[in-house]
Amino acid sequence: MDQRALGGNGLQVSAIGLGCMGISQSFGPSPAREVMVDFLRQAVEHGVTFFDTAEVYGPFHNEEVVGEALEPLRDRVVIATKFGFSLDDSDRKLDSRPEHIRTALEGSLRRLRTDHVDLLYQHRVDPDVPIEDVAGTVKELIAEGKVGHFGLSEAGSDTIRRAHAVAPVTALQSEYSLFWREPEDSILGTLDELGIGFVPFSPLGRGLLTGTVDASTEFSDGDIRAKLPRFTTLARQANLALVDRVRAVAERKGVTVGQVALAWLLAQAPSIVPIPGTRRLSRLDENVGSTEVQLTPDDLTELDEASTQVKVVGDRYPEAMQRMINR
pLDDT score at 89:
64
177, part of any domain: yes
14, part of any domain: yes
- pLDDT level of residue 146 (50, 70, 90 thresholds): very high
| Ordered DSSP codes for 61-123 | HHHHHHHHHHGGGGGG-EEEEEE-B--SSTT--B---HHHHHHHHHHHHHHHTSS-EEEEEES
Q: How many domains, the chain? A: 1
Alpha helices in the chain (DSSP H): 33-45, 61-70, 98-112, 131-143, 157-166, 187-194, 233-253, 257-268, 281-289, 297-309, 319-322
Residue 131: burial class (beta carbons within 10 Å; 0-12, 13-18, 19+): buried
User: Which has the higher per-residue pLDDT, 196 or 323?
Assistant: 196
pLDDT score at 322:
72
326, part of any domain: no
In this prediction, residues 71-85 reach a mean pLDDT of 98
Which residues contact residue 38 at a Cβ distance below 8 angstroms, ignoring those fewer than 6 apart? 69
Indicate if 57 belongs to the active site: yes
Q: What is the mean pLDDT of the chain?
A: 95
115, part of any domain: yes
pLDDT score at 307:
96
233, part of any domain: no
Catalytic residue among 57, 121, 176, 317: 57
175, part of any domain: yes
Phi, then psi, of 224 in degrees rounded to 5? -60, -25
pLDDT score at 92:
79
User: Which has the higher per-residue pLDDT, 91 or 257?
Assistant: 257
In this prediction, residues 17-22 reach a mean pLDDT of 97
pTM over 0.75? The answer is yes
The rounded percent of the chain whose pLDDT value lies above 90 is 88
Could you list the residue range(s) of the whole structural domain that residue 284 is in?
3-204+265-293
- pLDDT level of residue 317 (50, 70, 90 thresholds): confident
Is the pLDDT confidence value at 324 over 90?
A: no
What is the CATH classification number for the domain harbouring 124? 3.20.20.100
In this prediction, residues 76-80 reach a mean pLDDT of 98
Report the chain's terminal Cα–Cα distance, integer Å. 34
60, part of any domain: yes
pLDDT digits (tens, 9 = 90+) for 160-182: 999 999 999 999 999 999 999 99
Is the pLDDT confidence value at 49 over 80?
A: yes
275, part of any domain: yes
pLDDT score at 326:
73
